[in-house]
């Protein structure tokens, strides 16, 4: 990955869920982020808005931070459908005219936009569409199960609920224990953080399991693969990518991610989140025909809940599921590593 001085565009959408790409990059690549663009929150304290990012200023436009020598404008949102907000075009053209590279994880490929392409060529900068999949992805063949690496996949009760974060935290905790671990990025934000991966939700449906399989086979030399999950098996829009990942990566273990405060699917209030024991059984039943596996633990996203209340919720879910439960940000993931480490060959 090139040395970057990143400006994150989050205009009008700067919150933990809407700007999850921004939040993820700030959490794990903070040293590269020099500013946020959001005129609605300009001058405010970033920590008071998203809980992290001490010292990173919020400004209204590119011109205010040119003295900081930015190199890259990063699109900081992952909206449903992945479409570029129309009112963001001016920020992007301004960045290109000031010789900033553009990094985008949208489904809308900015490198296909004629105006942006002309400006990028004129000012000798590049547009990186992170979601563009590599060529020649194969169909799934089941070969992932033949690797010696221990494969742990995060799955969820909903989208945007902590699967990437949990996978990264497991990887980091494993490395601290001396385990040769790798975070396997399967979404645009994870790729921006890790520097490699495939955004599987932009792969043709017949090839999703093949993309997941390829990610595993290319990293088979690691002892532990902590694979980022996508979507939810019960989601009316995104269940296909979830199942493709589940079958293609052939995990030996799953970590189920859930937000206790969320009772219905985000943006789909007519779809209630089903009870965790039912979700556990559903994921295990769907995995079984290709490669049997078990849910090893529950990762709770206790955002907005006090530590005291989070601990009470953790205890309740542990009693309900008879599995180790934690909030990775509040209390770490040692509970998961204590279960995962003995499975390493």
Q: Where in the chain is the domain with CATH 3.40.50.300?
A: 143-343
Cβ proximity of 116 and 264 under 8 Å = no
**Distances from the Cα of 334 to the Cαs of 114, 142, 232, in angstroms?**
49, 31, 25
Alpha helices in the chain (DSSP H): 20-28, 46-50, 89-97, 114-122, 163-176, 188-194, 208-218, 239-249, 276-287, 307-321, 328-331, 334-340
Whole-number Å distance between alpha carbons of 222 and 194: 15
- Name the percent of the chain lying above pLDDT 90: 93
Average pLDDT over residues 179-199: 97
CA dist list (Å): 196 to 95, 185, 219, 304: 24, 7, 11, 32
Closest among 143, 144, 168, 142 to 154, alpha carbons compared: 168
Average pLDDT value over all residues in the chain: 96
Q: Would you call 211 helix, strand, or coil by DSSP?
A: helix
The fold of 143-343 is Rossmann fold (3.40.50)
Q: What is the pLDDT of residues 36-86, one digit of tens each?
A: 999 999 999 999 999 999 999 999 999 999 999 999 999 998 777 778 888
For helices 89-97 and 114-122, angle between their N-to-C axes, nearest 10 degrees: 20
Phi, psi (degrees; rounded to nearest 5) at 291: -160, 110
Where do we find the tokens 């970590």? 255
What would the pLDDT profile of 229-280 be if each residue is shown by its tens digit?
Answer: 999 999 999 999 999 999 999 999 999 999 999 999 998 999 999 999 999 9
| The two three-digit tokens of residue 6, written as one number | 């990143």
Task: State yes or no: pLDDT of 188 exceeds 60.
Answer: yes
Neighbouring C-beta atoms of residue 181, cutoff 10 Å:
24
CATH class of 6-129: alpha beta
Alpha-carbon dihedral sign for residues 58, 60, 63, 64: negative
177 close to 104: Cβ distance less than 8 angstroms:
no
Is residue 299 classed as helix, strand or coil in its secondary structure? strand
- As a whole number of angstroms, the longest Cα–Cα distance in the chain is 61
Tell me, yes or no, if the pTM score tops 0.75.
Answer: yes
Is the pLDDT at 26 greater than 80, yes or no?
Answer: yes
The pLDDT score that the predictor gives to residue 115 is 97
Q: Residue 1 pLDDT more than 50?
A: no
Give me the sign of the Cα torsion angle 56, 78, 130, 197: positive
Q: Give 296-332 pLDDT, tens digit per residue.
A: 999 999 999 999 999 999 999 999 999 999 999 999 9
On whether the CB atoms of residues 6 and 24 are closer than 8 A, the answer is: no
CATH 3.40.50.720 domain extents, the chain: 6-129
CB 273 within 8 A of CB 265: yes
Question: Is residue 341 a contact partner of residue 178, using CB atoms and an 8 Å limit?
Answer: no
Sign of CA dihedral 167, 168, 171, 173: negative
* d(C-alpha 227, C-alpha 247), whole Å: 13
Tell the burial category of 69 from Cβ atoms under 10 Å away from its Cβ (0-12, 13-18, 19+).
exposed
As a whole number of angstroms, the distance between CA 268 and CA 247 comes to 26
């Amino acid at each position: 990955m090139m040395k970057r001085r990143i400006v994150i565009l989050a205009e009008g959408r700067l919150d933990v869920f809407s700007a999850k790409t921004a939040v993820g990059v700030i959490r794990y690549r903070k040293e590269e982020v020099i500013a946020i663009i959001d005129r609605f929150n300009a001058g405010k304290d970033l920590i008071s808005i998203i809980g992290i990012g001490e010292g990173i200023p919020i400004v209204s436009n590119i011109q205010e931070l040119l003295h900081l020598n930015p190199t890259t404008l990063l699109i900081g949102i992952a909206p449903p459908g992945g479409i570029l907000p129309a009112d963001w075009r001016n920020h992007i053209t301004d960045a290109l005219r000031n010789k900033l590279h553009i990094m985008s994880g949208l489904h809308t490929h900015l490198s296909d936009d004629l105006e942006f392409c002309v400006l990028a060529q004129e000012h000798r900068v590049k547009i990186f569409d992170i979601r563009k999949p590599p060529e020649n992805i194969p169909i799934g063949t089941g070969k992932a199960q033949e690797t010696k690496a221990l494969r742990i996949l995060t799955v969820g009760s909903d989208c945007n609920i902590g699967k990437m974060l949990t996978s990264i935290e497991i990887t980091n905790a494993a490395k601290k224990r001396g385990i040769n671990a790798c975070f396997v990025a399967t979404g645009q934000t994870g790729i921006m953080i890790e520097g490699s991966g495939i955004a599987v939700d932009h792969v043709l449906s017949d090839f999703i399991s093949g993309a997941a399989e390829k990610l595993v086979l290319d990293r088979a030399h690691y002892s532990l693969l902590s694979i980022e999950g996508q979507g939810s098996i019960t989601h009316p829009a995104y269940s296909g990518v979830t199942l493709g990942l589940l079958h293609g990566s052939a995990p030996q273990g799953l970590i189920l991610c859930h937000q206790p405060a969320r009772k219905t699917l985000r943006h789909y209030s007519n779809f209630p989140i089903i009870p965790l024991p039912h979700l556990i059984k559903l994921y295990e039943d769907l995995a079984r025909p290709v490669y049997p596996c078990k849910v090893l633990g529950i990762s709770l996203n206790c955002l907005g809940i006090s530590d005291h209340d989070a601990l009470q919720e953790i205890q309740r879910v542990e009693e309900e599921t008879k599995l180790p439960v934690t909030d990775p940000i509040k209390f770490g993931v040692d509970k998961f590593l204590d279960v995962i480490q003995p499975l390493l060959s």
